Structure 1
Amino acid sequence: MIGLLAPVAVVTLAGGWSAHLGLSVRDHLEATRDALLRLRAATSTRDPALMAGALADAQRHAAEARRLTGGPDWSVIAYAPVVGDGATTVRGLAESAAELTDVLAAVQRVGAPFITATTHSLNRLPRTLADLDAAAPVLDDAATRLARVSSRLADTPADTGVGPLDQARGTALQEVDRLRGWLGDAANAAALLPPMLGRDGPRHYFLAFQTNAEARGTGGLVGAFGILQADHGQVDIRRLSSDSGLGASSVPIVDHGPGYRARYGPSAAKLLSISNLSPHFPYAAATWTGLWEQQTRRRLDGALATDPVGLSYLLQVIGPVTLPGGEVVTAENVVDLTERTAYARYTDPVARKRFLIKVAGTVSEALPTAFAKPSELLPVLLRMVDERRIQVWSRRENEQARLSTTPVGGVLPQRPGPFAGLVVNNSAGGKLDYYLKRSVDYELGPCRGALRPTTVRVRLTNDVPGERLPTYVTQRLDSPKRPHAVGSNLLWVSLYAGVGTKIREARVDGDLFPVIKEAERSHPVYSALLEFAPRQSRTLEFQLMEPSSGESPLVPIQPLVRPQHTRITQDSRGCDS
């Protein structure tokens, strides 16, 4: 709501008293804006007095702007010719500002323990869970109220003839929707964390460490795993093991349905190494827990996954950790150390896996110190969730239902709308995806009745260095008896398109290409198995016809080592919702 403006230009056309009234509304809306800016600055200082003062000022001025625009004098202006639409939109802005500041006041009250605290003792963790319990319904209500604010503001005239006013309305809508999304995520976290962290008794989860130097649908090959125990907020990671510590099943451990079996084959639900080819995290999580339970006869409450990039973010809070041999692991070196250096240092796979488990164990032992720094941990966790560096599945239906609506659930959504998801699976058996570069250009054309033309261009580069790499990194297990250029790679590349989308044609490097057409969770999936020479770039272009929709395009990003560069462009004529 920082985009509030002075509405006086709208009402001066309606006469002297109207101009005076407009000036008063302008002054209060500008004062609201200034107070909200002060609130934003005060939040970064964690000074409760500054935050409370700025918020109180914002509430007072917003309430007065709503009072002035809610009376009969303003109603007369709203029904007047020429200026009526502008006056209606100004009233909508004033109402939105007042409701927003009330919501912020409620959130500030329940969020104070987390905003102002720099550290918590580990003994206070049960109290922290109680604070989260208390915050959950308030945050839920706040998100619901902002949804109503957004709906009402969206119903006000968007084209009033006054450019600054129209721009302010658009900015306010964006701000409200952004805050609503943040509050929704916070509400989910507040509702889920207490029970999942053992408020009601110990919980046990399969914890997968994904090596995204060898790409899989959820991120990377599971190179190591452990069992995470949470009890009244205390987190402990036990039984760390390499991937060889979890045996295969003779039969599929879980039935993900005929569509899954048709796309991935029966072995994907038997073997840890190919258990997460699908980007839909619940498939992998159910397989992992099933394999563990079959082997140990011990039931688990769910599963989590992270990767070395996620560990680097946690180390920003924890600080450097020292391995038993004296080597220091930091936020800056952990990714390179575990996904590149380790392969060059250890020619013996057993020794290398032992080293990686040592890294994971040392970071895990220091993890409780991060939970004692909630104000530092929260932004790190939000980044991990946003990048899918942490994904979570719960066996309890009510928790999983809530997780599935959030990014941390790692769910491949089945709802309609513009969608372009690039998923890469390594088919060579090496570790060259550490060097993989990705870009996705998603161009949405104009709506033409029920359909719109779209183009998705995917560019992949095998950016392997010219230096000599360990054989374990460059090996070609897909066809070991055939000669291959050292550093070449084989990737199973898939584009997940929006529900109801049809393909017109596909090209690889400019030539027509017969992609494999499949489906997963209602999404059409177009795949190609592509060979990459060292330092070769290849471009896939998909010409599609997707259902017309006014929904925002969704482009989920597979969590690999290097970031994906994404560009979305839409025809200026847009589509109706």
Structure 2
Amino acid sequence: MQNSVAPGTASSNVPARPAAKKRKRRAKAITWTIVGVFVFCLAAMGVSAFVAKSAVDTLMSEAKALANDIDDSAKTQSHVDEMVSAASRAHWATAHPIWRATEILPYVGDDLRAVRLLARTADSLVSDVAAPLLDFDLSSIGPTDGALNVDAVAELGKKIEEVAPAAQDAQIRLIADGIDTDNLLGPLQGPVTQVEDVLNQTADVLRRLAVLSPRLPQMLGADTPQNYLVLVQNTAEMRTLGGNPGSMMMLTVDNGRMEITQTASQADVNSGRAESVAPLNPWTEALYTDRVGRYIQDTTMTPDFAQTAYLARAFWSETLGDPGNAVIAIDPVLLSYIMKATGPVELEDGTTLNSNNVVNQLLSKVYERFPLNYGPDIEKQDAFFAAASGSIFGKLTSAQTNLFSLVKQLNKGYEEGRILFASTDAVEAKAVSNTLFNGPLHDASNTENTTLGVFVNDNTEGKLDYYTDMSVAASSNVCSVGDDDDKTYTVEATYNYNLKPEQVAGLPAYVSTGRYFEKGLKSTNLVFYGPVGSTFVSAKLDGADFVPQAGTNDLGRQAVLINFESEPSTTHTLEVTFSAPPGTYGPIDVRTTPMIKDVPVTIDEPSCG
């Protein structure tokens, strides 16, 4: 019997196929919509990434060009305009909702977020900080007719006060947002860290300058002449901060015009006294003895420049009168940097000094011309040193001096620890607090940087450090021990005495006196400082265990002194290990005496990531 179909059944099933087709069409539409949105998002991200990358490339290129053309106002403005536009494009390309939505993706989300935050920060820095600052005509500062324009400096100070809060706001926002560099792709970690460092430095410098800006005209003698006691350190006879500061000058600044108004040497003050010229910190005396306060030549043995300045002012005021408003310390290497901006000088005796020969002339040749360590030769040495330093300072405000080049060279000297500054004015002191102007160990904690110190002090009496150099290696186990374990920091210094044996006989008496050590033999005190809160563990000299001759807690750090003697053409290796308690420790930063030659530093500190 055949199956029958109930009436109406067939007709009710007829629309089934069209309904299926509609569902398929709807599914296809949804699918293609999703695909379309996905493709659109991909395209948007691709275009955004391209625009952002292109903008960043332009920004970096224009920034480099700006550094070269900073003294050309027209080119500066052109570069600034391009940088503002590029930073804005980078910000726009990464700020839209599609970009932000992709930040939730695994693997690349953190990186996309970091790029967006950095683009926003760059836009803020360029538009709200750099552009307004560079809109100021820096050439108006001068020098003109031998003086800086004090009124222009005051205007620049006001401009800095206006933009400093924008830099600080950008810094605070980036800190609040937080970028975990350890979670970023390798190629992005370096640029992110670099931008964060630049932002932190920029905000810090502008904050300090904003504090100082009301004082800038007064510091340049706008209302009344300002006097600065300048210590010129002789780095042929090393001290912790640089060298023997036996040559001194009074720098007077009157309405932007600089002049050396008085010079003096160790013979003009009561150096070699029976007692310290002023009370010493007990830890300073324990490590360096009371020589620091009895001899002007030894006031720079301490790494604390505030103490050096205090003692230098006491020596000067005792016999020479008013010690001025502040103390500045420099060295011949810094003078060579300055001369790259000012050009050469010719002294009254016919000697021409330039950036290439000034170090050799001041630290070696002068002792060949005036070799004796007594009588008129000492006076002639001091006079030559003072004349050279005074002539170089005299060119600071000459028409031939390129102000932008000068600032660049002074900054180089600052970073190497060759410029130190201590003021009696509270505002000025606050502006430079916890910076390298205070000395190499200005950090009060280990949080941002774990600073270690290796400092050279000659113990021979002479100028034999002209023939020395040093390199330093530092390491730590901070990433290989538990958070609750003590940390170990090891510092190794390789000290080279490069005088050749055949040169000893011809050494001038002032270079190697032979009074305490036979001629050519060199005695050196190397002083090692550990992290804040550290303790001394051990020391080695040339691979053998060694007991330091002195040790104490100085500036909140354990410090030890090791004395050793060097024959000509010899090398000594000294190793000191410190232990530090559990805590937060930033990257290792090694500070050394600024020697005549650069001190290479190698740091072995595996990442904790």
TM-score bracket, shorter-length normalisation = 0.7 to 0.9
Per the alignment, residue 92 of structure 1 pairs with: 117
Give the one of 559, 578, 597 matched to 1:525: 559
Asked if the contact 1:282/1:411 (under 8 Å) is kept, the reply is no
Per the alignment, residue 284 of structure 2 pairs with: 260
Q: 374-383 or 137-146: which moved more?
A: 137-146
Asked if the contact 1:35/1:58 (under 8 Å) is kept, the reply is yes
Structure-2 separation of matches of 1:65 and 1:239:
55
Give the letter for the 2:379 counterpart. V
Q: 102-111 or 533-542: which moved more?
A: 102-111
Q: Give the direction of change, closer, same or farther, for the CA distance of 1:508–1:237 in structure 2 (3 Å limit).
A: same
Residues 1:184 and 2:204 are matched in the alignment: yes
| SS of match in other structure, 1:408 | helix
Give the letter for the 2:451 counterpart. F
Identical pairs, percent: 23
Residues 1:270 and 2:270 are matched in the alignment: no
Q: Normalising by the residue count of structure 1, what TM-score does the alignment of the two structures yield?
A: 0.87
Per the alignment, residue 236 of structure 1 pairs with: 259
Q: Give the direction of change, closer, same or farther, for the CA distance of 1:419–1:81 in structure 2 (3 Å limit).
A: closer
Residues 1:221 and 2:221 are matched in the alignment: no
| SS of match in other structure, 1:380 | helix
Structure-2 separation of matches of 1:317 and 1:299:
29
Give the one of 545, 567, 572 matched to 2:579: 545
Residues 1:471 and 2:500 are matched in the alignment: no
Give the one of 50, 56, 59 matched to 1:27: 50
Residues 1:201 and 2:236 are matched in the alignment: no
Asked if the contact 1:28/1:62 (under 8 Å) is kept, the reply is no
Give the one of 436, 446, 451 matched to 2:468: 436
Per the alignment, residue 7 of structure 1 pairs with: none
| SS of match in other structure, 1:332 | coil
| SS of match in other structure, 1:228 | strand
Q: 128-137 or 48-57: which moved more?
A: 48-57
Q: 534-543 or 468-477: which moved more?
A: 468-477
Residue 357 of structure 1 and its aligned partner are, at CA, apart by 2.6
Give the one of 437, 441, 457 matched to 2:492: 457
Structure-2 separation of matches of 1:356 and 1:550:
43
| SS of match in other structure, 1:341 | helix
Whichever of the two has the greater Rg, that structure is 2
Residue 264 of structure 1 and its aligned partner are, at CA, apart by 3.1
Q: Give the direction of change, closer, same or farther, for the CA distance of 1:194–1:496 in structure 2 (3 Å limit).
A: farther
Per the alignment, residue 457 of structure 2 pairs with: 425
Give the one of 407, 410, 416 matched to 1:378: 407
Give the letter for the 2:351 counterpart. E
Structure-2 separation of matches of 1:154 and 1:179:
14
| SS of match in other structure, 1:562 | coil
Residues 1:562 and 2:594 are matched in the alignment: no
Residue 379 of structure 1 and its aligned partner are, at CA, apart by 0.7
Deviation per residue, 1:306-348 (Å, 9 max, x gap):
1211211222222221121222122211111111111111133
Structure-2 separation of matches of 1:331 and 1:68:
47
Residues 1:388 and 2:417 are matched in the alignment: yes
Structure-2 separation of matches of 1:556 and 1:13:
59
Structure-2 separation of matches of 1:366 and 1:86:
51
Structure-1 separation of matches of 2:466 and 2:206:
33
Give the one of 19, 40, 47 matched to 2:64: 40
The answer for unaligned runs of 5 or more in structure 2 is 1-34
Asked if the contact 1:441/1:456 (under 8 Å) is kept, the reply is yes
Structure-2 separation of matches of 1:473 and 1:318:
30
Q: Give the direction of change, closer, same or farther, for the CA distance of 1:538–1:384 in structure 2 (3 Å limit).
A: same
Residue 535 of structure 1 and its aligned partner are, at CA, apart by 1.4
Per the alignment, residue 17 of structure 1 pairs with: 40
Give the letter for the 2:557 counterpart. H
Q: Give the direction of change, closer, same or farther, for the CA distance of 1:360–1:405 in structure 2 (3 Å limit).
A: same
Asked if the contact 2:230/2:251 (under 8 Å) is kept, the reply is yes
Q: 376-385 or 260-269: which moved more?
A: 260-269
Residue 476 of structure 1 and its aligned partner are, at CA, apart by 3.9
Residue 460 of structure 1 and its aligned partner are, at CA, apart by 0.6
Per the alignment, residue 429 of structure 2 pairs with: 400
The correspondence of residues 345-364 of structure 1 with structure 2, limited to 5 A, is 345-346=369-370, 347=372, 348-364=377-393
Asked if the contact 2:129/2:164 (under 8 Å) is kept, the reply is no
Per the alignment, residue 127 of structure 2 pairs with: 102
Residues 1:167 and 2:187 are matched in the alignment: yes
Q: Give the direction of change, closer, same or farther, for the CA distance of 1:549–1:325 in structure 2 (3 Å limit).
A: same
Q: Give the direction of change, closer, same or farther, for the CA distance of 1:49–1:253 in structure 2 (3 Å limit).
A: same
Structure-1 separation of matches of 2:305 and 2:332:
18
Give the one of 275, 282, 291 matched to 2:306: 282
Asked if the contact 1:146/1:180 (under 8 Å) is kept, the reply is no
Structure-2 separation of matches of 1:65 and 1:276:
49
Structure-2 separation of matches of 1:14 and 1:544:
61
Give the letter for the 1:567 counterpart. T
Q: Give the direction of change, closer, same or farther, for the CA distance of 1:75–1:572 in structure 2 (3 Å limit).
A: closer
Per the alignment, residue 493 of structure 1 pairs with: 526
Deviation per residue, 1:50-103 (Å, 9 max, x gap):
444444444345435544544444444334566544443343233233223324
| SS of match in other structure, 1:472 | coil
Asked if the contact 1:301/1:396 (under 8 Å) is kept, the reply is yes
Asked if the contact 1:259/1:520 (under 8 Å) is kept, the reply is yes
Give the one of 517, 534, 545 matched to 2:568: 534
Residue 489 of structure 1 and its aligned partner are, at CA, apart by 0.6
Asked if the contact 2:475/2:491 (under 8 Å) is kept, the reply is yes
Per the alignment, residue 324 of structure 2 pairs with: 300
Per the alignment, residue 336 of structure 1 pairs with: 360
Q: 427-436 or 363-372: which moved more?
A: 363-372
Residue 372 of structure 1 and its aligned partner are, at CA, apart by 5.2
Q: Give the direction of change, closer, same or farther, for the CA distance of 1:216–1:75 in structure 2 (3 Å limit).
A: closer
Deviation per residue, 1:406-431 (Å, 9 max, x gap):
22332532522222211111111111
Residue 496 of structure 1 and its aligned partner are, at CA, apart by 0.9
Q: 89-98 or 396-405: which moved more?
A: 89-98
Give the letter for the 1:464 counterpart. L
The answer for unaligned runs of 5 or more in structure 1 is 1-11
Give the one of 244, 247, 257 matched to 2:270: 247
Give the letter for the 1:269 counterpart. G
Q: Give the direction of change, closer, same or farther, for the CA distance of 1:505–1:396 in structure 2 (3 Å limit).
A: same
| SS of match in other structure, 2:253 | strand
Residue 498 of structure 1 and its aligned partner are, at CA, apart by 0.6
Residue 266 of structure 1 and its aligned partner are, at CA, apart by 3.5
Q: Normalising by the residue count of structure 2, what TM-score does the alignment of the two structures yield?
A: 0.83
Q: Give the direction of change, closer, same or farther, for the CA distance of 1:270–1:326 in structure 2 (3 Å limit).
A: same
Residue 209 of structure 1 and its aligned partner are, at CA, apart by 1.3
Q: How many residues align?
A: 553
Give the one of 165, 171, 186 matched to 1:147: 171
Q: Give the direction of change, closer, same or farther, for the CA distance of 1:476–1:175 in structure 2 (3 Å limit).
A: farther
Q: 222-231 or 353-362: which moved more?
A: 353-362
Q: Give the direction of change, closer, same or farther, for the CA distance of 1:474–1:167 in structure 2 (3 Å limit).
A: same
CA RMSD of aligned residues (A): 2.9
Residue 124 of structure 1 and its aligned partner are, at CA, apart by 5.1
Asked if the contact 1:66/1:95 (under 8 Å) is kept, the reply is yes
Asked if the contact 1:463/1:535 (under 8 Å) is kept, the reply is yes
Per the alignment, residue 78 of structure 1 pairs with: 103
Q: Give the direction of change, closer, same or farther, for the CA distance of 1:146–1:247 in structure 2 (3 Å limit).
A: farther
Structure-2 separation of matches of 1:265 and 1:504:
23
Structure-2 separation of matches of 1:316 and 1:29:
39
Structure-2 separation of matches of 1:494 and 1:219:
13
Q: 20-29 or 257-266: which moved more?
A: 257-266
